[in-house]
Copies of this chain bind each other. A is one copy, B any other.
Amino acid sequence: MKTYLDCIPCFFRQVLEGARVVKASPKQQKQIIDEFARKIPEISLKVYPSEIARIGYALLKKISPSGDPYKDIKQKSNRIALRMLGKLRNKVNHSQDRLLTALELAIAGNIIDFGVKNNLNVKMELKKIIAEENKNIPKKSIFHYLEFRRVLKEAKNILYLADNAGEVVFDRILVEEIKKEYPNKNIYYAVKAKPVINDALFEDAKACGIDNSARVISNGTDAPGTVLALCSKEFKRIYKNADMVISKGQGNFESLSQEKRPIFFLFMVKCPVVAKETGCKLGNIVLFYNLKKNGTA
């Protein structure tokens, strides 16, 4: 997906919220905004939104002592999500279609996204999601579940593209469910190489315990989403060999939607531009198979 002009105001909002997360003083916040503004005229809209967001977050890292401004937030998300593991498993165990429930939970876990809504009360939102009634899960719009089942059955090598820390626990539920049904599948779980927003790193994958069921790999970059041109050779090799890609979050959708690979995009629609691009509504949960042909479902 290309970058829309409508993304520009949103980049400024993200950079500003990020500046506050790194505890920049009001003066520093203005400086970061100014520096980002100076870059706008140099930016082509032919690049993916993730690439522009990366430029903004690079400015934040400059004034973050640790170089990982969202570290505390990520660790907190991991802890909160881990405490829910039992309930999530319980929900799968008591469902009629285990895989479907695991899928829904994995997508719902995508609500943990500080790039979009900084002051998100993760605990409250997740409690809603795993409440007994499904009332609170926003309606599905695109949901290629039969294709997911079909492609999964045949796939040998599955590449699962992570999105946010904390959310990894929800991914773990889905990965464990796949492994339970198909113990011989190879599952690679790809995280970022270096910090960007609250995207999951190797340490988050490990903290959330997904490393017991999937082989955790790095994609070699610090861009939000998966910008293939920036990814490592090793990652691209695994990507090309995968018979099935499970891609989490809007960032991965934005940077891979034009690819001709068997990718399933699992995400919650969080912005009007992606809503327009997909024909969905804000808050919809989406399972989109990019190779779906009409009538094959």
A-to-B contact residues, CB < 8 Å? 5-6, 8-10, 12-13, 16, 26, 29-30, 33-34, 37-38, 40-41, 45
Contacts and interface: CB of A to CB of B under 8 A. Distances in A.
A30 to B, nearest CB: 6
A34 B5 CA distance: 11
Given A5-B16, A5-B29, A37-B41, 8 more contacts: A5-B33, A8-B12, A9-B10, A9-B12, A12-B12, A33-B40, A37-B37, A37-B40
Nearest to A31: B41
25 contacts: A5-B26, A5-B29, A5-B30, A5-B33, A6-B13, A6-B16, A8-B12, A8-B16, A8-B33, A9-B9, A9-B10, A9-B12, A9-B13, A9-B16, A12-B12, A30-B45, A33-B40, A34-B40, A34-B41, A37-B37, A37-B38, A37-B40, A37-B41, A38-B38, A38-B41
A33 B29 CA distance: 20
Nearest to A15: B9
Chain A interface helix/strand/loop/mixed = helix
Copies assembled: 2
A38 B37 CA distance: 6
A127 B41 CA distance: 43
Nearest to A26: B5
Contacts of A45: 30
Contacts of A16: 5-6, 8-9
Contacts of A37: 37-38, 40-41
A158 B10 CA distance: 42
A37 B16 CA distance: 15
A12 to B, nearest CB: 4
Contacts of A26: 5
Most chain B CB within a 10 A radius of its CB, from A13, A26, A37, A45: A37
A171 B13 CA distance: 35
A16 to B, nearest CB: 6
Contacts of A9: 9-10, 12-13, 16
A34 B10 CA distance: 15
A30 B29 CA distance: 24
A31 to B, nearest CB: 9
A26 B8 CA distance: 14
A34 B36 CA distance: 11
A13 B30 CA distance: 18
A94 to B, nearest CB: 39
Contacts of A29: 5
A28 to B, nearest CB: 11
A27 to B, nearest CB: 10
A9 B9 CA distance: 4
A23 to B, nearest CB: 14
A19 to B, nearest CB: 8
